[in-house]
Amino acid sequence: MTDPSLLPFAAAALAAAGMGAAAGLRAWQDWIALRREQVSSGQAPGGDRELTALRARVRRLEAIASGVEL
């Protein structure tokens, strides 16, 4: 059924998948640690810009709702 000459290729593919998964997991853990540091220090990236953009969007929506053209 299975050709024994394919065993090294299957083992290499399995090892590559495992290394890829391990690298992805490590990157995810490092990213989570970075985000935790940013949140605990109050330095969430883009926080001020996002808040300003949201306020501007709310002002535009309120102007549209009241019938004022910007």
Domains of the chain by residue range: 4-66
As a residue count, the chain comes to 70
Residues 9-57: tens digit of each pLDDT:
999 999 999 999 999 999 999 999 998 998 888 766 666 777 888 999 9
pLDDT of 1? 54
d(CA 57, CA 63): 10
pLDDT at 58 (0 to 100): 93
Distances from the Cα of 54 to the Cαs of 18, 30, 49, 62, in angstroms?
42, 29, 9, 12
**CA 31, CA 54: separation in Å to the nearest integer?**
26
pLDDT of residue 47: 65
Query: Could you tell me how far CA 30 lies from the centroid of its own chain?
Result: 12
